Amino acid sequence: MINILLIAVGILLGILFEKFRRKYYSLCRLVFRSSHFEKNLKVSLEKEEVENILPAGLIRERIPKHVAVIMDGNRRWAKEKGLTTMEGHIAGAQRVLELIPLCCSYGIKVLTLFAFSTENWNRSEVEISFMIKLGEKMIMEKLEEVMRQDVRISVIGDMTKLPRSLQRLITKAIDSTKNNSRLHLIVAINYSGRCDIIQACQRIYEKVKDGIVKQENIDETLFTDQLETNCTEFPYPDLLIRTSGELRISNFLIWQLAYTELYFEELFWPDFGEKEFVKALLSFQGRSRRFGGSTAG
């Protein structure tokens, strides 16, 4: 009788222990998962804070809203290193991919890149074909990454001369990113500053002819609204950077650059990294922008 009772008590204790064991391990899993989540969240927040910390010397309130870049020197960079022109363009494209997150991190709102001018059609068919294929490849492979960075893409210039395949990819990139707001990336492709001014004049002429605008109401604001850079909240670049040591704007944003601060870098574009970018921003922050007026005092 006692043996039967002991067996019954043992079975009952075993059942209770199993229930306790399951509940214990369930709680352990919950705690470990929670700790893992909190750890990941902490790491994520710390990463966010690190990304928002400006390099030494930069002042957030004086960061330019709109930075434009003439990315010059891919071919000369390649020649100096004994590489092909195509390898130079690949290295230049990589610099673009590195510059975008820097702009996001620093609080720059608009980045305009001079990727292909109307004069670039004078280059060899082989080089032009490669540049077009490289552009297509970048859109296909990097669009999702751009989406994650909350970057909006716009393209200015005459796209009608571009291959249909590239036009379709550009349209997809524009449509896919139109609601993004952290950084507005404007890419100038087959762009000419003179042509931009001409097409703005043509638009205004049509508006006057159709009675939409009176001649006496034509002013700078109306003209600016007809330019291709009207796609952004900040149409006038605060800072223009040109690499490779050339000291000219090469038919780029002629109207828009009227009061832009200019920064010329000796290095070729593929060598223009974060250090050089910060140097350009520091130069900008050290200047007094008068917009045609005189200094205070």
Provide the residue-wise pLDDT of the chain in tens; the chain has 297 residues: 554 544 444 544 454 445 444 543 443 443 334 344 334 334 333 344 445 689 999 999 999 999 999 999 999 999 999 999 999 999 999 999 999 999 999 999 999 999 999 999 999 999 999 999 999 999 999 999 999 999 999 999 999 999 999 999 999 999 999 999 999 999 999 999 999 999 999 999 999 999 999 999 999 999 999 999 998 899 999 999 999 999 999 999 999 999 999 999 999 999 999 999 999 999 999 998 877 765 544
Pairing of strands 183-191, 261-264: unpaired
Residue 53 pLDDT: 84
Instruction: Provide Rg for the chain, Cα atoms.
Output: 29
pLDDT at 23: 45
Where are the chain's structural domains? 65-285
Q: What CA–CA distance (Å, rounded) separates 42 from 48?
A: 10
Residue 96 CB contacts under 8 Å (≥ 6 apart), including other chains: 71, 113, 138
72, 150, 158, 210: the catalytic one is: 72
**Cα–Cα distance measured from residue 29 to residue 134, given in angstroms and rounded to the nearest whole number:** 48
Residue with tokens 């000291």: 247
Q: Is the pTM of this model over 0.95?
A: no
The amino acid sitting at 138 is M
Instruction: Return the number of other C-beta atoms located less than 10 Å from residue 33's C-beta.
Output: 10
Instruction: Compute the half-sphere exposure of residue 1: CA atoms within 13 Å on the CB side of its CA.
Output: 0
What is the C-alpha separation between 262 and 237, in angstroms, rounded? Answer: 10
Three-state SS for the chain is CHHHHHHHHHHHHHHHHHHHHHHHHHHHHHHHHHHHHHHHHHHHHHHHHHHCCCCCCCCHHHCCCEEEEECCCHHHHHHHCCCCHHHHHHHHHHHHHHHHHHHHHHCCCEEEEEEEEHHHHHCCHHHHHHHHHHHHHHHHHHHHHHHHCCEEEEEECCHHHCCHHHHHHHHHHHHHHCCCCCEEEEEEEEECHHHHHHHHHHHHHHHHHCCCCCHHHCCHHHHHHHCHHHHCCCCCCCEEEECCCCCCCCCCCCCCCCCCEEEECCCCHHHCCHHHHHHHHHHHHCCCCCCCCCCCC
pLDDT score at 34: 39
- Would you state the pLDDT for residue 125? 97
Q: 65-285 sits in which CATH class?
A: alpha beta
79-108 burial code (b ≥16 CB/10 A, e <16):
eeeeeebbebbbbbbebbeebbbbbbbbbb
Report the pLDDT value the prediction gives residue 289, as an integer from 0 to 100. 81
The pLDDT of residue 291 is 76
CA dist 22 and 14 (Å) reads: 12
* Residue 225 annotated as catalytic: no
φ and ψ at 196, to 5 degrees? -60, -45
